[in-house]
Amino acid sequence: MKLLRSFLLVSCLVFSLATIHATTVIPPTFDRLVSDAEMIFEGTVTALKSEWTGQGNDRHIVTYVTFKIEDPIKGAPGAEYTIRMFGGTVDGHTMEATDTPRFKVGDRDILFVENNGKQFVPLVGIMHGRFRVKQDEVNAPESISKDNGAHVSNLAKLGTDEKAASSGQALSKADFKAAIREKLAEKAATK
C-alpha cells in the first residue's frame, strides 16, 4: 500500500510538472475551445486590410481579415466573415502583439471565434483558437496543425499537455471537424 501511495504521489508530481501553460496565454482545452467559441468555421483568407483606429492614447493599428466560409460548424458566419485583429502595418509603421496569429491571403483555417470586435485577438485562447488546414502531398488527406505549425494528434491533451497533444499521428481535417460536431452534439444533449 505504501508503495502504491508513493507511486500515485510520483505520478501526480509527474503529471503536474507536465501540465504547463503558455507564458502569455493559458491554452484552452478542446472542450473549452468548442464551448467558448461563438462561431466555428473552416474558411480561406481572401483579403487583409490594416488601418489606424482610435484616438489619442488609444490610437493603434488593426487588421481586418476576411474569410470565404467553406464550412460553418457553429454559429452563422454567412458566406464571408471578417475578424478584427490587433496590429498590422500601415505606411511602414508596424504595431505587433507577440504571440498573435498572422494571416495571409490563401491561408486555410478552422477558427474558434469569440468576442469579435471586442477582444484584441477574437479567438479562443488567442493563437490556440486557430487551426491551420494543410495537405502535405497531392491526394493525401488534409490534416490540421496548430498556429505554431505543430500537428494535432490527441485532442484530449489540448490545454493540459501541448507536447502530448502533438505526439502521434496527425489528425485529419475530417476527423477534427467530426470531433467538434460530436462535442457540440454532446453539449446540446446535456442542455
Partner 1 sequence: MEIMSRFGLLHLSPKALSLPICFRYKLPAMRRAVIAITLVVAALSTTAHAYVLQGPRWPSGTVLVLQLGLGSANRTLQDGNTSWDTAVEPVAEMWNQSFGRVRISNVFNPQAPVSQSDRINSVVFTNSIFGQSFGSGTLAVTFYTSSGSNMLEADTLFNRAAVFDSYRGPLQFIPHGVAIADIRRVFLHELGHSLGLGHPDQGGQRVTAVMNSIVSNQEELSSDDMAGGQYLYGAPVAPTPTPTPTPTAPPGGAAGHLANISTRMKVGSGQNVLIGGFIIQGSQPKTLILRAIGPSLVASGVLNVLANPVLELRDSAGVLVASNNDWQDTQASQIQQSGIAPTNALESAMLKTLAPGSYTAVVSGYDGGQGNGLIEAYEMDANSTRMVNISTRGRVGTADEPMIGGLIVQGGVTKRVIIRALGPSLAGGSSPVLGILADPILELRDGSGNLLAVNDDWGGSTQVNDILATTIPPVNALESAVVASLNAGNYTAIVRGLDNTSGVALVEVFDLDP
Contact residues for partner 1, defined by CB under 8 A:
15-17, 19-28, 36, 48-50, 54, 56-60, 63, 86-90, 92-100, 102-104, 114-115, 118-126, 148-149, 160, 162
| Residues near 22 by beta carbon (within 8 Å), at least 6 away in sequence | 99, 128
CB of 97 or CB of 140, closer to partner 1? 97
CB of 124 or CB of 177, closer to partner 1? 124
Query: Backbone phi, then psi, for 133, in 5-degree steps?
Result: -95, 130
Q: How far, in Å, CA of 36 to CA of 62, rounded?
A: 23
CB of 124 to partner 1, least distance (A): 8
CB of 71 to partner 1, least distance (A): 24
Q: How far, in Å, CA of 123 to CA of 82, rounded?
A: 12
- Under a CB-based contact definition with an 8 Å cutoff, are residues 170 and 152 in contact? yes
CB of 16 to partner 1, least distance (A): 5
CB of 29 to partner 1, least distance (A): 10
Q: How far, in Å, CA of 134 to CA of 25, rounded?
A: 25
Q: Residue 154, SS3?
A: coil
